[in-house]
Amino acid sequence: MQPLKHSRIVVLLSVSFACVALNLWLIATAHYRLPVFVFGGAVLVIAFAFRKLPATATIPEKVNSDLMRASGSARRLGFMFIIAIAISILGLSSGRFRNFPTWGVVLMFAWGGFLIWSAFRGAKWYKDRADAANRGSEKRTKSF
């Protein structure tokens, strides 16, 4: 399978999440100096991984296809965030967040709303870019 244009962001997010999880575990187990080394290692892994990834596509048809797939993926991510907020609301009504401070619960739902908005806004941005690329390619073909 050929790595796609968005494989760079997948590598960045994957290593970032792994770095955060590992650092939280190290801090929870009272290893206070090791997170610095984990962070440095994550930066090096990302730098070396980016060198191995292929260059991004420049063929207009491939770029348009990638943009439409990215738009669909961002939209699906937005729906996943909506489902997560719905599950959180069910947890709120069942008393799951009873021990949390009120500002923390409000902040959690505000952050969830921001994630939903940004996912759908990103999907619209990708779709608009794909439509602009389609209009540009139509103008180029009509001029010949």
Q: Residues 87-134: pLDDT tens digits?
A: 988 988 888 888 888 888 888 899 889 989 999 999 999 899 888 877
Q: Which of 12-26, 36-50, 65-79, 102-116 has the lowest mean pLDDT?
A: 12-26
Q: What are the φ and ψ backbone dihedral angles of 71, each rounded to 5 degrees?
A: -65, -45
How many C-beta neighbours within 10 Å does residue 144 have? Answer: 4
**pTM of the full structure:** 0.59
- Token pair 């069910």 is at which residue? 90
Residue 61's pLDDT is what? 78
- Overall residue count recorded for the chain in this entry: 144
Residue 19's pLDDT is what? 83
Structure tokens belonging to residue 83: 């489902």
